[in-house]
Amino acid sequence: MSIRKMISLHPDVDGHQNQPLADAVHHAMYCAKMCMSCADACLAEDKDMTQCIRTCSDCSDICEATSRIGARRSGDNEAVLKDVLELCARICDACASECEKHDHEHCKLCAQICRECADDCRKAAETITP
């Protein structure tokens, strides 16, 4: 089952979900795990990857928070949701930029998911009116 489907089943959504938001939640969930995995792989590299590890770890935490906040549909907290989506886009861009400095395949893959997540978060933020 997809998170998009789960969000659409929420009684307050009544089947009319915000598709860009659902896409952002979906990508943020995956991006959190990919960044965590990239940071772990960076730990095993022979050269100093401290900055990449830090950036990936921060990105993972922000993506995790974004996916959790975005998946909640009870009540109303649109201003926070918009801010979190915009923050997630910025940290994903920063993480992608850092990972793009390295030739490791795990960094290339991490940069790719970060760019996709950033794009989706920006699109979702545009649909939120605080």
Go through the domains of the chain in sequence order and give each one's CATH number.
3-126 (1.20.1270.360)
User: C-alpha 64: how far from its chain's center?
Assistant: 7
Mean pLDDT (the chain) is: 90
**What's the pLDDT at 14?**
55
Q: In the chain, what percentage of residues exceed pLDDT 90?
A: 75
* pTM: predicted TM-score of the whole model, two decimal places: 0.90
If pLDDT is split at 50, 70 and 90, which confidence band does 42 have? Answer: very high
Q: In the chain, what percentage of residues exceed pLDDT 70?
A: 88
DSSP-derived letter for residue 14 is T
Residue 12 makes CB contacts below 8 A (sequence gap 6+) with: 73, 74
For residue 16, CA distances in Å to 41, 49, 63, 116 come to: 40, 44, 24, 24
